[in-house]
Amino acid sequence: MAAPFRSVFMTLSPGGLIRSGIAAPAGSVANARACLRSEHSSTGGRGVDESVDEYKYVERLVPPSRIPSPPKHEGSAPSGWTPPPETPPSLPYMIRRSRMHNVPVYSDIKHGNQKSTLVRKVEGDVWALNKDVKEFLQQLTGRETATQVNEVTGTVRIKGHFEKELKAWLIQRGF
Amino acid sequence: IYKSLFLLRLFSSFSGESALPSNLRLPPNLIGVPREKRAFPASTDLPVLRRCEADIPAHLAPVQTWLQSLESRHSEPLGVVDLHPDVFSVPVRLDILHAVEVWQRNFKRISYAKVKSRAEVSGGGRKPWKQKGSGRARHGSIRSPIWRGGGVAHGPRGPTSYYYMLPMKVRVQGLKIALTSKLAQDYLHIVDSLEIPTPDPHYLQDLAKHRQWGDSVLIVDVGEEFPQNILQATESLKTINIIPAIGLNVHSMLKHESLVLTLEAVKFLEKKLLWHDTRFTPLYPFKLPYSDLP
């Protein structure tokens, strides 16, 4: 991938710029013709140096494509982000972190008034998670919350906005 | 093996029936007649010949399978290899597999069907007879759709393209699901290299039949160079095909019954498919250079 980029850079090498710089102050026509002729000749004709060392200034600007792993924090970071523990909890289900290392709980609104919360990336027994979520929300709100389990995709959709509470609860459970 | 099993069944259910005709060929994937499965490797005993390069999540364990060799027909498996669970044991989403297969069939399709409408058929500019008085039905042109020789009212109009793109991550997930299903159904075979002793196509067919690989085999390796023997052997065969690893796709995997991967092909596929799990969304297309593309 870097090779064609490099070759493009080579054609815009400092040789061409230096040549155009030298051609301007040359006053007479004969000198200008000599300059033009040297432009057509091979690159090493006028003692021009080619170097590819300056390419490192381009290379350091090219962005990475992979998301880096976050630095080590003891407990939660100042922003409120908590790193996932080293060992996963011993529960019948597992909830992976998203690719940006966050807990995969998202709130959703449809038609302006239908609020729901979605827990994604669930592996293992989704129904056990559903039961635990219902118990937790029963203690939180005092009434039964409607949930919808999708076993195929491994998601649980809960009626109402409980994003913050569910995120804190999942982090406290060890996900 | 199958004929004897079938005979046993026949004799058990019907007494006094004649034997099976000798020219009866039973397909290897006949429902109700299970293939002999070699016992899957136990995790603790055997030394693992290949570990996964990428990190495996803490709650998952690598999937294991036999490493075979194409050297001789009767050669025993060389050992056990580890495969990454995020590529070879993902949840099998048949809807994604279907979507990717349908996309692969249709996105390249351009239908060139075109018929002339009443405006394009020659003639038909003049009113054939006057509106009133002739006693016949009223018409405006002789090329209207109700006339014989007239244009088609709602026919196919010009080349139509059925191009659409599924999201990159969906297509990648489709590949992972196809690999997972092949492994789960015992149709995935890992091989150390594609060296075979003879360029004879019968050797490969015999090998596939003996090892119960199925009716059709897709052989995958990395790189542009393949050994001459296997190229010559697969050239004349219709059901055993060889492709480079960049050419692996869901349609070919579903079309061929079993899949044979080399160790380098497994490494390549794991690297390419796992990158999509931890990549940023593209700032500019991935065709342009990034510092750490796989």
The model's pLDDT over B63-117, given as tens digits with 9 standing for 90+, comes to 999 999 999 988 889 999 999 999 999 999 999 999 999 999 999 999 999 999 9
Residues contacting residue A52 through CB under 8 Å, at least 6 positions apart: A6, A9, A10
Specify the higher pLDDT residue, A40 or B260: B260
In the prediction, which pLDDT does A43 show? 53
Average pLDDT, stretch A96-107? 96
Answer whether B275 touches A (CB < 8 Å): yes
Answer whether B279 touches A (CB < 8 Å): yes
Q: Tell me the ipTM for this assembly.
A: 0.80
DSSP chain B: -HHHHHHHHHHHHSTTPPPPPTT----TT-TTSPPPPPPPPPTTTSPEEE--SSPPPTT---EEEEEE-SSSTTPPP-EEEEE-HHHHS----HHHHHHHHHHHHHTT-EE------TTTSS---S-SS-SSSSSSPP-S-TTSTTSTT---SS---S-EE------HHHHHHHHHHHHHHHHHTT-EEEES----S---HHHHHHHHHHTT--S-EEEEESSS---HHHHHHHHS-SSEEEEEGGG--HHHHHHSSEEEEEHHHHHHHHHHHHHGGGBPPPSS-TTS--TT--
Answer whether A28 touches B (CB < 8 Å): no
Average pLDDT, stretch A44-63? 87
Cβ distance of A62 and B289 shorter than 8 Å: yes
In the prediction, which pLDDT does A45 show? 60
State chain B's mean pLDDT as an integer: 89
Answer whether B15 touches A (CB < 8 Å): no
Average pLDDT, stretch A120-139? 96
Alpha-carbon gap, residue B231 to B214, rounded angstroms: 20
- Smallest Cα–Cα separation from B195: which of B235, B218, B228, B224? B228
Using a CB-CB cut-off of 8 Å, the residues of chain B touching A5 are 289
pTM score? 0.81
Reply yes or no on whether the pLDDT at A30 is more than 60: no
Residues contacting residue B233 through CB under 8 Å, at least 6 positions apart: B196, B198, B199, B200, B201, B203, B204, B240
Name the amino acid, one letter, at B247: G
Number of A:B CB contacts under 8 A?
Answer: 51
Regions of chain B with pLDDT less than 70: 1-18, 31-44
Nearest CA-CA distance, residue A113 and chain B, Å: 30
Nearest CA-CA distance, residue B176 and chain A, Å: 15
Task: Kindly list the distances between the CA atom of residue A108 and the CA atoms of A115, B73, B156, B218, in Å, as whole numbers in the listed order.
Answer: 6, 58, 42, 44
In the prediction, which pLDDT does B153 show? 95
Reply yes or no on whether the pLDDT at A77 is more than 80: yes
Average pLDDT, stretch A104-127? 96
Reply yes or no on whether the pLDDT at A127 is more than 70: yes
Give the CA angle between residues B236, B237, B240 to the nearest 5°. Answer: 140
Nearest CA-CA distance, residue A78 and chain B, Å: 24
Average pLDDT, stretch A60-70? 95
Q: Which fold has domain A93-173?
A: Translation Initiation Factor Eif1 (3.30.780)
Reply yes or no on whether the pLDDT at A25 is more than 80: no
Answer whether B31 touches A (CB < 8 Å): no
